[in-house]
Amino acid sequence: MKKAALVAGLLLLAVLWLGILAFGERDSFSIHMIVHMGVVAGAAPLIALGLSGSRHDLTIRWPWFTPVLASMVELVAVWGWHLPAARALAEASWLVTALEQASFLAAGVLLWLSCLGGALDGREGRRLAGTFGLLFTSMHMTLLGALLALSPRPLYGSADVSCFGVPLSAAVDQQAGGVVMLLVGAIVYLLGGVTLLATTLEPSTPSGGRP
């Protein structure tokens, strides 16, 4: 299962980066957001699940890297790259775009790995912390998505753009991107946090005993 999750995550990453990002409109904020959320909420948890418990699980060697700390790293990466100046740099340079996407992937994988991985000793406490970390991430992504969707003016340019061949004004393009972040951030991270909490609260079955 873990190997299949890792392969699925890498394939999704290839579709997002080599397909949508490479051939989509660089100045479309909604396309950017589809790729961004696909990386942090799609590919990252699959890759983290595939790496969890293996020798590539950094949280085994970094027990101090808690889900709460990882969620703060994610917050800085997400909010920082959505400042208008940073967004303009990423649209203007493929090198900056690569740095942006690499930071999204690293922050996403580390967050999910801190929740799903780590040493067996203390796993229950890490899952509880992971519940808080994922719920906090859901909150700040929902907030940013709502701010972008409800902004009275476009923050990332004023020219019309094309999203998968559909012409959009700058304001509508930003609103669509904000809605993508709001919905995906709310659903995926909230679902992940609730699942972790349910797993932690599930009564353990003694070895050799009946459920």
Does residue 74 sit within a domain? yes
Mean pLDDT of the chain: 87
pLDDT the model gives residue 205: 45
With a pLDDT cut of 70, the percent of the chain lying above it is 92
Q: How many CB atoms lie within 10 A of CB 156?
A: 20
pLDDT the model gives residue 203: 58
Does residue 27 sit within a domain? yes
Does residue 206 sit within a domain? no
Does residue 209 sit within a domain? no
With tokens 């790729």, the residue in question is 35
Give 179-208 pLDDT, tens digit per residue: 999 999 889 998 988 888 887 776 554 444
Domain that holds residue 197: 2-201
Q: How far apart are CA 47 and CA 40, in angstroms?
A: 10
Does residue 160 sit within a domain? yes
Does residue 207 sit within a domain? no
Provide the number of structural domains found in the chain: 1
Does residue 208 sit within a domain? no
Q: How far apart are CA 82 and CA 78, in angstroms?
A: 6
Q: How far apart are CA 6 and CA 160, in angstroms?
A: 38
Rg of the chain (C-alpha set): 18
Strand partners, 163: 166
- Coil, strand or helix at 163: strand
Q: How far apart are CA 127 and CA 66, in angstroms?
A: 10
Q: How far apart are CA 172 and CA 183, in angstroms?
A: 16
Residue 163 binned pLDDT confidence (cut-offs 50, 70, 90): confident
Does residue 211 sit within a domain? no
Give 98-154 pLDDT, tens digit per residue: 999 999 999 999 999 988 876 556 567 777 888 899 999 999 999 999 999 999 899
